[in-house]
């Protein structure tokens, strides 16, 4: 490692601390990604050898610890216990983990979980294998990587779209309003969309109905494309009627004036 520059050595050490890999593997992954950390993580975790690295026996033991004895699923109590174990008293985490932490949504996305607060055996073991996790220690080590995935625009879009089906009740086509608002607040706190609280207030005041998948997906596009002052908003665009009504609501309540943001603390 002596031939590497200081910045490269720092990235190697950071890669090793997060993945638990050897120095040789760290250097290979970083070279393959042109020394981009996020790209190196993707390469590392996509390798078939990583998937086989997580021993099935250890994963079976973890699953048995958290599964519900009556349903053979990991339910809310098991997920709470998992979060408590991850942030054990003898280990200091940058992010405090609880079942409502956004990183648990990322975990559920990796597990391809069908329902919020539920993990089947196949989802749990398959998801942890894909992440190269076979112990609580490795789970802790992967948290920075999983949190960093939210900064990737494409992955955030996938996680956002996944959240709709994951959070809605079984057998329902739409997402309950209260659940949708909670998910938007969680997701857009990460992306820092300044209109999210006004959007939620508008829905409670004017809509008060379940949210369709089309509205869910189009809101992300609206937040991404239209600037917060709505100066580039096109009223003739193909937005869902609810988003058009939201823009009218902002104007009616004096929150917008000539394409400029007013006092958003109101």
pTM over 0.85: no
pLDDT at 4: 86
Residue with tokens 């280990």: 91
**pLDDT of 195:** 94
Check: CB of residue 191 under 8 Å from CB of residue 221: no
Closest to 66 measured CA to CA, from 106, 104, 20: 104
Domains along the chain?
A: 6-46 (1.10.8), 53-151 (1.10.238.10), 153-261 (1.10.238.200)
Looking at residue 43, its pLDDT comes to 81
Residue 222, pLDDT score = 95
Q: CB–CB of 189/147 below 8 Å?
A: no
Instruction: Give residue 48's pLDDT.
Output: 53
Cβ-contact 136, 180 below 8 angstroms: no
pLDDT at position 164: 97
Looking at residue 97, its pLDDT comes to: 67
- CA dihedral for 121, 127, 131, 137, sign (positive or negative): negative
CA separation, residue 232 to residues 33, 160, 227, 236, 259 (Å): 36, 24, 7, 12, 8
Q: What is the pLDDT of residue 54?
A: 41
Dihedrals phi, psi of 119, to nearest 5 degrees: -130, 125
- The three-state DSSP-derived secondary structure of the chain is CCCCCHHHHHHHHHHHHHHCCCHHHHHHHHHHCCCCHHHHHHHHHHCHHHHHHCCHHHHHHHHHHHCCCCCCCECHHHHHHHHHHHCCCCCCCCCCCCCCCHHHHHHHHHHCCCCCCCECHHHHHHHHHHCCCCCHHHHHHHHHHHHHHHHCHHHHHHHHHHHHHHHCCCCCCCECHHHHHHHHHHHHHHHCCCCHHHHHHHHHHHHCCCECHHHHHHHHHHHHHCCCCCCCCCCCCCCCHHHHHHHHHHHHCCCEECCEECCCCC
Per-residue pLDDT in tens (0 to 9) along the chain, 266 residues: 557 888 888 898 888 877 767 788 888 888 888 899 888 888 887 765 544 444 578 899 999 999 999 998 999 999 999 999 988 644 444 455 667 889 999 999 999 999 999 999 999 999 998 888 888 988 988 888 898 899 999 999 999 999 999 999 988 999 999 999 999 999 998 888 999 999 999 999 999 899 999 999 999 999 999 988 898 998 888 899 999 999 999 988 877 644 454 443 33
The whole-number pLDDT of residue 107 equals: 95
């Amino acid at each position: 490692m002596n031939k590497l520059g200081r910045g490269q050595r720092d990235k190697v050490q950071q890669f090793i601390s997060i993945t638990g890999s050897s120095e040789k593997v760290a250097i290979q992954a970083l070279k393959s990604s042109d020394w981009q950390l996020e790209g190196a993580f993707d390469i590392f975790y996509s390798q078939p050898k990583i998937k086989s690295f997580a021993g099935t026996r250890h994963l079976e033991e973890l699953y048995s610890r958290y599964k519900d004895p009556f349903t053979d699923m990991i339910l809310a109590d098991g997920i709470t216990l998992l979060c408590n174990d991850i942030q054990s008293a003898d280990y200091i985490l940058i992010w405090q983990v609880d079942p409502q932490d956004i990183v648990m949504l990322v975990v559920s996305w990796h597990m391809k979980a069908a329902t919020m607060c539920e993990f089947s055996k196949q989802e749990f073991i398959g998801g942890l294998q894909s992440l190269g996790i076979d112990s609580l220690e490795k789970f802790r080590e992967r948290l920075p990587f999983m949190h960093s995935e939210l900064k990737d625009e494409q992955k955030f879009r996938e996680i956002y779209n996944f959240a709709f089906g994951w959070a809605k009740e079984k057998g329902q086509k739409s997402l309950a309003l209260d659940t949708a608002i909670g998910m938007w607040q969680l997701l857009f706190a990460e992306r820092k969309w300044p209109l999210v609280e006004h959007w939620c207030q508008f829905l409670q005041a004017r809509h008060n109905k379940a949210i369709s998948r089309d509205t869910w997906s189009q809101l992300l596009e609206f937040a991404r494309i239209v600037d917060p002052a709505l100066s580039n908003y096109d009223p003739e665009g193909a937005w869902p009627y609810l988003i058009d009504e939201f823009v009218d609501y902002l104007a009616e309540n004096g929150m917008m004036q000539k394409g400029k943001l007013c006092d958003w603390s109101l």
